[in-house]
Amino acid sequence: MAPVTAAGDQPTTPPGDAMHALVERLYPLCRSITGDGVRATLDIVGEYVPLQVHEVPTGTQVLDWTVPQEWNIRDAYIADPAGKRVVDFAESSLHVLGYSVPVSRTMPLSELRAHLHTLPDHPSWVPYRTSYYKPEWGFCLAQDTLDALPDGDYEVRIDSTLADGHLTYAEHVIPGQVPDEVIVSCHVCHPSLANDNLAGIAVATFLARALAERTPYYTYRFLFAPGTIGAITWLARNKERVERVKHGLVLACAGDPGRLTYKQSRRGDAEIDRVMRHVLAASERPYQINEFTPYGYDERQFCSPGFDLGVGSLSRTPYAGYPEYHTSADNLDFVSPEAMADTLAVCREAFAVLDRNRRYLNLSPYGEPQLGRRGLYDALGGRSDTKQAQMAMLWVLSLSDGEHSLLDVAERSGLPFDTVADAADALHGAGLIKA
């Protein structure tokens, strides 16, 4: 990967540390499905990779949905009877119910309680709550804080606006050797949640930087968009391009200490599903493969039956699978450089397989061609896996019938994919197979 120089990092900064530094920069911003927090987030990501930013007006029909009004917030607090701020948006963007309508009132604690959200099972944590499509207001706070509030009248203020504006999303495209596309998607709508949101953004950003170091086979399209409505908006605006999307991966919860988890596409046998299963199994990492369900992140939009794209989802611990999910405990200490670096490495390994996976046709299919006189065995002399490489050539020749891919060869032979792909390159160079 190219040396990291953005955001003050030194050229020798390891990718994991650089990704964590990006998460730290993004963490304080108040994001939602629309608004200036999304724009500020994309401005920072744009320092790492060039982005094409799209603004879609309120009221735009996108499939069965409508782009909502834009929400922005400047300040919010609850002040106790003595005038002290006991809940303060300035301390954490989680303290306000997302998309809260403006309010400026004084009310008794008994009335205020109906608008307060806590986690009694984790009394020191602040929950993350939203009300995107129903006009409402509220605050999120620790149960310990609520329990300590005395009776009396409280000043309640939410300085927000909900008005016609835009939904904002961005794309970064890495041109490939072919126009067929791989889409990589992450959501940019959550506020201060380090794992569920920001780690995925960081891994996607540095994955894009890594892929840009070469000309990949596929064209890679990175989508930074608010969850659900963002993916729906992109699909609605890109119906003519959807047929180019051959593979895809949604990144989320990419930095926690749990094992890697891959959620398969709705098809279950899409090429990305097979590639991820193969890479995870071959890596000897702890991992889990989950079947598709129509609940989760934006893989459910890409996999909806009208589109039925081969898009899976990669995370560490899946959504709602860890106690810290959607709480203030999903903080900068919960994600680690090592976990994000590991997630990034798996993505790179998977896309390397995807880019090299081809079907070939044996041009000398009657009997085994003489490899020695073509110098193919001699070319393997310096390899530490010479015997494996020889076997890989024989397997590629045997299964190059136009029906089997190199991944098929690797799975059937039990040989490493890279060894099989190298053998195919050598056979292709000798004119024995063609793509």
pLDDT in tens, 161-220: 999 999 999 999 999 999 999 999 999 999 999 999 999 999 999 999 999 999 999 999
**Per-residue H/E/C for 137-181:** CCEECCHHHHHCCCCCEEEEEEEEEEECCEEEEEEEEECCCCCCE
Distance between CA 255 and CA 178 in Å, rounded? 32
Class of domain 83-163: alpha beta
Question: Cβ-count burial of 91 within 10 angstroms (0-12 exposed, 13-18 middle, 19+ buried)?
Answer: exposed
Residue bearing tokens 């609850």: 78
Q: What is the pLDDT of residues 195-208, one digit of tens each?
A: 999 999 999 999 99
Distance (Å, whole) CA 226 – CA 167: 8
The answer to whether the annotation marks 166 as part of a ligand binding site is no
Nearest of 331, 333, 339 to residue 27 by alpha carbon = 331
Give the pTM.
Answer: 0.94
- Asked if residues 122 and 320 have their Cβ atoms less than 8 Å apart, the reply is no
Structure tokens at 145: 């804080």
pLDDT in tens, 351-390: 999 999 999 999 999 999 988 888 887 665 556 677 888 8
Q: Give 95-119 pLDDT, tens digit per residue.
A: 999 999 999 999 999 999 999 999 9
The CATH number that domain 6-67+166-355 falls under is: 3.40.630.10
* DSSP codes joined into one string, 270-308: SHHHHHHHHHHHHHT--EEEE---S-SSTHHHHTSTTT-
The set of residues, in sequence order, having a beta carbon less than 8 Å from that of 264 and lying 6+ positions away, is: 270, 273, 276, 289, 290, 291, 292, 312
From the number of C-beta atoms within 10 Å of its C-beta (0-12, 13-18, 19+), residue 156 rates as: buried
Contact call for residues 100 and 158 (beta carbons, < 8 A)? yes
Q: What residue ranges do the domains of the chain occupy? A: 6-67+166-355, 83-163, 358-434
Residue 196 annotated as part of some ligand binding site: yes
Mean per-residue pLDDT, 85-94: 98
Residue 317 has pLDDT above 60, yes or no: yes
Annotated binding residue 164: no
- Domain 358-434, architecture per CATH: Orthogonal Bundle (1.10)
